[in-house]
Amino acid sequence: MRMPGRWWRHKSTPEKVETYTRWSFHFFAVMEFFSVGLTSVAPLGARLGGAALLVVAVHAALCFVTVSRAIDWTRGRRPQPTGLMWTLGAVTAVIAAVALGLAERGPDREGVAAAASGVFGVLLIFGPGIIALGVRSRRRAFGLPGGFAAGAWVVAFALGASALTALFTALFVLVGGTFIAFTAVFSVWLLNAVYELDEARETRTRLAVAEERLRFGRDLHDVMGRNLAVIALKSELAVQLAQRGRPEAVPQMVEVQRLAQESQREVREVVRGYREADLGSELVGAQGVLAAAGIDCTVGGVPAAGLPPAVQSALGWVVREAATNVLRHGDAQRCEVRLRVLEGRVVLSVENDGVSEAGSEPGSGPSGSGLAGLRERLAEIDGTLEAGPVGRGLFRLTAEIPLPSPSTASGAAPAVAAARSVSEVTS
């Protein structure tokens, strides 16, 4: 059974902004129907009121469809709904003109004039504002209310209204339509800005990965380039000496063998340095990356320098994976990292809000190792990993690693004792 609101938490921040924008303008169409459509039935009578209700319903439906098509066009999913916008503009103008005519020369009843004036005002305010969603030029978007206001002045004056009354009518349409048009322009700008920021964050992540790959390739080239060149030259020299039957070929091949073994050792060192994670560096790096993404990250607990190297390396990978998951999954605003030493074991907890889906486990999908890989890495040193939701919108990852006993790691005992004492003071 799907939980209420689960579909909302599953959306990313840009998708939430788009949904909010879309339904806000859909609400304008609904409000138009209920505010002037249904309320026109009683004062206009069953026959004329039913016709007015039908006309307002058609206009509201056009507004509803135009909002969806215009926002889809804004995001590049559909072509610009030019025909639909022209249709909405024409229908708005015709209905407003008829409503104004009823208000000025309709049946001599006060309710008829009030209902017709309401239909005229609401449609001329909402219509241009919704059309502005599908216009790229801001000048044209703000020009739409001006054009409808000018048309309202002409029609009102032609139907016999005084110049002052027609002017007030035009000003009412201009102010209301400009406000809705401004709301539309600002909403589209905000929606595009949020999507662009999200794309920039993804691009920054990809660039960081590419930069790390380039660094590794550069280090590997620097290590292997010279050795391979020397091996090639000495091998060629050894072949020429062997072909001549010279005994100097043997020392050359011994040197080639030595260089090959040295190259293997250097490659292992490069790979080991690339794959090993330092806990202190990972904590600083995670805090900096999350802060750059607008996430408030706090780090507390014992200092990482007092832990054994194997424990630091394993927990460094935990911090790296946890920070990656916070960036990729959900919409976190806060992240707290805490390192503690409790009864012979080290406990690292990473808690963040804004989980994308209740009950899910970020980083455990089929596309990557994620938390499953961390569990395998921690299992090698008898560590454990737990991850899951711990409250409304909260996700916590906890890694525990037992510390070496003094008999097996006497050299690390003073450091562990110091770390434990710091933990007792801070807790």
Q: What tens digit of pLDDT does each residue of 98-153 get?
A: 877 777 666 655 566 667 777 777 888 888 889 998 888 888 888 888 888 888 88
Percent of the chain whose predicted confidence (pLDDT) is above 70: 81
pTM (predicted TM-score): 0.55
Burial of 216 (0-12, 13-18, 19+ CB in 10 A): middle
Residue 427's pLDDT is: 36
Structure tokens at 410: 């006497």
- Between 25-34, 348-357, 393-402, the lowest mean confidence (pLDDT) is in 348-357
Taking each continuous run of H as one helix and of E as one strand, the counts in the chain are 12, 5
Residues 66 and 59: their CA atoms lie apart, in Å, by: 10
Closest CA to 350 of 286, 264, 275, 307: 286
pLDDT digits 0-9 by tens, 241-261:
888 888 888 888 888 888 888
Residues 227 and 221: their CA atoms lie apart, in Å, by: 10
| Angle, helices 163-243/249-275, rounded to nearest 10 degrees | 150
Closest CA to 332 of 362, 307, 312: 362
Residue 70's pLDDT is: 92
- Is the pLDDT reported for residue 37 higher than 60? yes
Q: How confident is the model at residue 421 (pLDDT cuts 50, 70, 90)?
A: very low
Mean pLDDT (the chain) is: 79
- Between 69-78, 111-120, 321-330, 344-353, the lowest mean confidence (pLDDT) is in 111-120
Contacts of 335 by beta carbon, 8 Å cutoff, 6+ apart:
290, 295, 296, 297, 298, 323, 326, 350, 351, 352
Residues 318 and 371: their CA atoms lie apart, in Å, by: 9
Residues 52 and 59: their CA atoms lie apart, in Å, by: 11
Residue 246's pLDDT is: 87
Strands (E), 285-333: 296-301
Structure tokens at 74: 């804004």
Between strands 334-342 and 296-301, the pairing is parallel
Provide mean pLDDT across the span 187-206. Answer: 86
Structure tokens at 251: 């020392």
| Cβ neighbour number for residue 33 with a 10 Å cutoff | 19
pLDDT digits 0-9 by tens, 261-295:
888 887 877 776 665 667 888 888 788 778 766 78
**pLDDT: is 378 or 110 the higher one?**
378
Residue 348's pLDDT is: 93
Provide mean pLDDT across the span 24-49. Answer: 76
